[in-house]
């Protein structure tokens, strides 16, 4: 009986030990992840606001151009484009911000989450109706919540949503490019596309040509789908 009891105690002890070791391991992973995130983040001073969603920041004496992750503000010349820029200037110019890198854009621009006084400024622009959540690039789990914030701004008719049919910046850029005869070229396949093409904004379509002849002279071939 005693031997059996001791055996049970040993089993219970082993389970408790294993559970504690597993908990310690998970905690270590969490702390390591946090440390990595902290080391990747940095502080800087905003030198200039180039557009509502693009800023110039001083980091250790060097200038870095930062594009705000997951959002798209109205373009220059577009309704609320200047309003978004002015708002960002009033909030950020000369201020110290926390920057959490989130990769690079298709055009090799640094993309980041920007925090002002511990508040996420990317989301603030969405909340006040001066930015759209960019569905294609906003892929973090939190982006679902961002879309709910955007719906709230729309219900309040804030900013761009005061217009019954606001034009998203990416559509505005396409229409402007179409008027100028702009084509995009895929740098891997060397195929070029018209603005009406579904492939116009493909991940590798970062070559820009002003006119069909310019694309052909550069060695690019017309897309079989849109036949530019």
Residues in the chain predicted with pLDDT less than 50, given as ranges, are 1-13, 15-19, 21-38
Domain that holds residue 194: 181-222
In a domain, 119, yes or no: yes
In a domain, 187, yes or no: yes
In a domain, 172, yes or no: no
Same domain assignment for residues 114 and 200 = no
Q: What is the rounded CA–CA span in Å between residue 200 and residue 181?
A: 13
pLDDT of the residue at 199: 81
In a domain, 67, yes or no: yes
160-170 pLDDT, tens digit each: 999 988 999 88
Same domain assignment for residues 122 and 202 = no
pLDDT of the residue at 9: 45
Same domain assignment for residues 134 and 201 = no
Q: What is the rounded CA–CA span in Å between residue 66 and residue 112?
A: 7
Same domain assignment for residues 158 and 188 = no
Same domain assignment for residues 142 and 218 = no
pLDDT of the residue at 178: 67
pLDDT of the residue at 141: 92
**Whole-structure pTM over 0.75, yes or no?**
no
Same domain assignment for residues 93 and 194 = no
Number of domains in the chain: 2
Same domain assignment for residues 141 and 195 = no
pLDDT of the residue at 23: 41
Residue that terminates a domain, selected from 131, 162, 193: 162
């Amino acid at each position: 009986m005693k031997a059996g009891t001791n055996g049970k105690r040993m089993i219970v002890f082993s389970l408790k030990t294993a559970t504690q070791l597993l908990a310690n391991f998970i905690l270590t992973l969490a702390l390591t992840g946090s440390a990595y995130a902290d080391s990747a983040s940095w502080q800087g001073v905003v030198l200039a606001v180039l557009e509502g969603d693009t800023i110039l920041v001083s980091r250790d004496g060097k200038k870095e151009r930062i594009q705000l992750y997951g959002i798209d503000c109205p373009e220059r010349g577009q309704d609320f484009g200047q309003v978004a820029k002015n708002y960002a200037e009033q909030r950020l110019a000369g201020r110290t911000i926390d920057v959490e890198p989130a990769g690079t854009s298709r055009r090799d621009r640094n993309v980041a989450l920007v925090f002002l006084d511990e508040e996420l400024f990317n989301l603030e622009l969405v909340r006040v109706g001066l930015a759209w959540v960019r569905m294609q690039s906003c892929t973090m789990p939190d982006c679902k919540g961002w879309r709910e914030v955007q719906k709230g701004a729309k219900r309040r008719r804030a900013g761009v949503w005061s217009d019954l049919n606001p034009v998203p910046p990416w559509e505005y850029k396409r229409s402007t490019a179409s008027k100028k005869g702009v084509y995009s070229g895929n740098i891997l396949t060397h195929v070029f596309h018209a603005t009406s093409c579904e492939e116009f904004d493909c991940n590798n379509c970062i070559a820009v040509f002003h006119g069909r002849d310019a694309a052909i002279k550069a060695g690019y071939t017309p897309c079989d789908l849109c036949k530019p």
